[in-house]
Structure 1
Amino acid sequence: MTATSTPNKTIDQLRDDRLAMLQDIARELEGDLVFPVCFDATIKISGIMKSPTASLQRIAQEIQHDPLITAKLLQLANSVAYNPSGSPVHDVAQAINRIGLDTARGVALGCAMQQLRSSAELAQFEDYSRTLWLHSLHTAAIAKVLARSLTRVNPELAQLAGLVHDLGAFYLLDRARNYPELLERPKTLQYLIAQWHESIGTIVLDNLALPEAVIDAVRENDVPRPTVETLRTLSDVVYVANLFAGGMEEVMLLDLPEPHQALELNLPCYLELKPAMEQACKELVGLW
Structure 2
Amino acid sequence: MDKLEVFNTLAAGVGHGELAFPTSAQVAIKVRQALDDPECHIEAAAHLVQAEPLLAARVVAMANSVTYNRAGNPVTDVRTAVARLGFRTVRALAMALITRQLSGSPSDPALQTMAAQLWQHTAHVAALAHVIARRVTKVDGETAMFAGIVHEVGGFYLLSQAKRQPGLLDGDFDAWMEGGEMILGRAVLQVLEVPAPVQEAIEAYWDGFLAIPPHSLGDTLLLAEELCPVPSPLHRFNSRGAAPGGADMGGSGNLDMVLGEETLSGILAEAAEEVGSLTGALQF
- Contact persistence 2:207–2:245 (CA under 8 A): no
Distance 2:138 2:228 in 1: 21
Q: State the partner residue of 1:197.
A: 181
Distance 2:18 2:112 in 1: 23
- Contact persistence 1:137–1:285 (CA under 8 A): yes
Assess, with a 3 A threshold, how the Cα gap between structure 1 residues 275 and 33 changes in structure 2: closer, same or farther. Answer: farther
Q: State the partner residue of 1:26.
A: 11
Shift of 1:137: 0.7
Are residue 168 (structure 1) and residue 113 (structure 2) matched?
no
Which consecutive unaligned segments of at least 5 residues does structure 1 have? 1-13, 37-41, 47-65, 85-94
Percent of aligned positions that are identical: 24
- Contact persistence 2:124–2:230 (CA under 8 A): no
Q: State the partner residue of 2:213.
A: 230
Q: State the partner residue of 2:194.
A: 210
- Contact persistence 2:35–2:45 (CA under 8 A): no
Distance 1:115 1:259 in 2: 33
Assess, with a 3 A threshold, how the Cα gap between structure 1 residues 236 and 283 changes in structure 2: closer, same or farther. Answer: same
Q: State the partner residue of 2:46.
A: 101
Deviations 1:59-84 (A, max 9, x none): xxxxxxx9x98677435522xxx247
Shift of 1:124: 2.2
- Contact persistence 1:139–1:163 (CA under 8 A): yes
Deviations 1:248-279 (A, max 9, x none): 773844389x9962454222431111224432
- Contact persistence 2:155–2:185 (CA under 8 A): yes
Greater RCO, 1 or 2 (C-alpha within 8 Å, sep 6+): 2
**Correspondent of 2:167 among 181, 197, 209:** 181
Are residue 146 (structure 1) and residue 106 (structure 2) matched?
no
- Contact persistence 2:128–2:275 (CA under 8 A): yes
- Contact persistence 1:77–1:83 (CA under 8 A): yes
Distance 2:27 2:272 in 1: 25
Assess, with a 3 A threshold, how the Cα gap between structure 1 residues 197 and 129 changes in structure 2: closer, same or farther. Answer: same
Are residue 267 (structure 1) and residue 250 (structure 2) matched?
no
Distance 1:220 1:199 in 2: 14
TM-score, normalised to structure 1, is: 0.63
- Contact persistence 2:131–2:275 (CA under 8 A): no
Q: Tell which deviates more after alignment, 164-173 or 117-126.
A: 117-126
Shift of 1:171: 1.0
Shift of 1:142: 0.8
Shift of 1:238: 0.9
Q: State the partner residue of 2:32.
A: 74
Assess, with a 3 A threshold, how the Cα gap between structure 1 residues 116 and 24 changes in structure 2: closer, same or farther. Answer: closer
- Contact persistence 1:221–1:238 (CA under 8 A): yes
Shift of 1:129: 1.6
Shift of 1:101: 2.9
Assess, with a 3 A threshold, how the Cα gap between structure 1 residues 149 and 69 changes in structure 2: closer, same or farther. Answer: farther
Name the count of aligned residue pairs. Answer: 226
Instruction: Extract structure 1 runs of 4+ deviating beyond 6 A.
Output: 68-72, 107-112
- Contact persistence 1:148–1:155 (CA under 8 A): yes
Which consecutive unaligned segments of at least 5 residues does structure 2 have? 56-96
Shift of 1:204: 1.2
Which structure is higher in helix share? 1
Shift of 1:207: 1.2
Distance 1:74 1:179 in 2: 31
Residue 118 of structure 1 aligns to a residue in which SS?
coil
Assess, with a 3 A threshold, how the Cα gap between structure 1 residues 230 and 219 changes in structure 2: closer, same or farther. Answer: same
